[in-house]
Amino acid sequence: MNANRFRIIGRQQLMGSSMPPAVMGLIWANLVLFSIMAAWGAAAGMGMSPLLNPDTNLLLHMGAQFWPAVLNAGQWWRCITYAFVHGGLIHLGFNMLVLYQVGPMLERELGWRPFLFLYLFATLTATGLGYLWEPGVPVVGASGAIFGLFGFAISFYHRIGTSIAFARRNFLLQWALIALVFGFLVGADNAGHLGGLIGGAVLGWVTPIYFSGLHRLRPLFAVLGWASLAVMVLAHLAMVASWFF
């Protein structure tokens, strides 16, 4: 059999067990921004409350999504930075745990550039559906992007069709159900969850499942990956600039 026809699944077995760079970078970015938010709140006299229940104004200051600010004040960066802001340690801890559990599987399968593009794409589709549902409600959290990982994995591994692929599909489906139940319990943005899930599923349905197809698209994935990284960095720089200007 032609090696180029081997399915992508199993590629991660050859790439070691260390935490891949995109997932590690995303986790650290979330942790650092949460620490900055907690420090900013403490300096503003809020005490320890930002650790468990940050004030809405503090969340907006740190980049929460708020569509009136996006549309009326041109704060486009909120469409991205909201996914790095969390409403307390429990919210942050749960999302980072899920990202830590499911992210490496997909990043090792695809590479960091396609993975980063998937994460950003799901971030945008999540907030896009949120706009159609409740545009006047501030939104924070990485769960929309994480649901994008769920959606991608479910459709991608389903298309591969092997027993290992079905096992991974089912594993991610279980995580999606757990996260969905958790979202209902805490009153999370379930419209955003659905938007991320749909966005990820669409990408999972069109991404090549063979090495040969992935190889042909490697230049495109390289551009999309670096562009995604640049957009994320620029969004956060724009947010920081808004603090002073």
For the annotated catalytic residues, the residue numbers are 143, 193
Q: How far apart are the first and last CA of the chain?
A: 61
Single-letter amino acid code for the residue at 14? L
* One-letter amino acid of 13: Q
242 Cβ neighbours under 8 A, 6+ residues apart: 75, 77
Rounded CA gap, 69 and 76, in Å?
A: 8
Dist CA 149 CA 99 (whole Å): 9
The Cα–Cα gap between 144 and 142 comes to 6
Distance CA 38, CA 52 (A): 10
